[in-house]
């Protein structure tokens, strides 16, 4: 299993209850990565005014809570994709977001927490 698939498997193990804030989701993501034995860094500065929620090897993980404005998240992911440290991007959301397969030539994946419960929103 490649690094991205290992990260995705860890993230798909999360069964998130309704959260009070985005940082609650950060805690769940960190715990899932730790439980899977995946070293990761939180709040990683990739460039000036460009900080991603987690970096697990070259897999960048961004977390969005609630309704996600697609245009804004695509712009944000493009900033991350432009950084050399990021090889793959994973967006973790409560609700599904339609994302392209690649941004700036880097693979993009989405993990929708509500779908992990079997709830389609």
Q: What is the pLDDT of residue 115?
A: 64
Q: What is the pLDDT of residue 55?
A: 97
Q: What is the pLDDT of residue 44?
A: 97
pTM over cut 0.85: yes
**Tens of pLDDT, residue by residue, the chain (121 residues):** 588 899 999 998 887 766 567 788 899 999 999 999 999 999 999 999 899 999 999 999 999 987 888 999 999 999 999 999 999 999 998 888 899 999 999 999 999 887 655 544 4
Q: What is the pLDDT of residue 79?
A: 96
Q: Which residues contact 45 (CB under 8 A, 6 or more apart)?
A: 51
Phi/psi at 90 (5° precision): -125, 125
Round to whole Å and give the CA distance between 43 and 41.
7
Phi/psi at 74 (5° precision): -65, -40
């Amino acid at each position: 299993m490649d690094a991205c698939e290992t990260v995705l498997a860890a993230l798909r193990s999360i069964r998130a209850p309704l959260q009070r804030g985005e940082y609650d989701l950060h805690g769940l993501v960190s715990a899932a990565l730790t439980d899977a034995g995946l070293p990761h860094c939180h709040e990683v500065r990739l460039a000036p005014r460009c900080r991603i929620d987690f970096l697990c090897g070259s897999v960048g993980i961004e977390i969005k809570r609630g309704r996600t404005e697609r245009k804004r998240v695509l712009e944000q992911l493009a900033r991350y994709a432009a950084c050399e440290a990021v090889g793959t991007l994973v967006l973790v959301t409560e609700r599904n977001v339609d994302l392209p397969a690649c941004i700036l030539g880097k693979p993009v994946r989405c993990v929708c927490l509500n779908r992990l419960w079997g709830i389609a929103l």
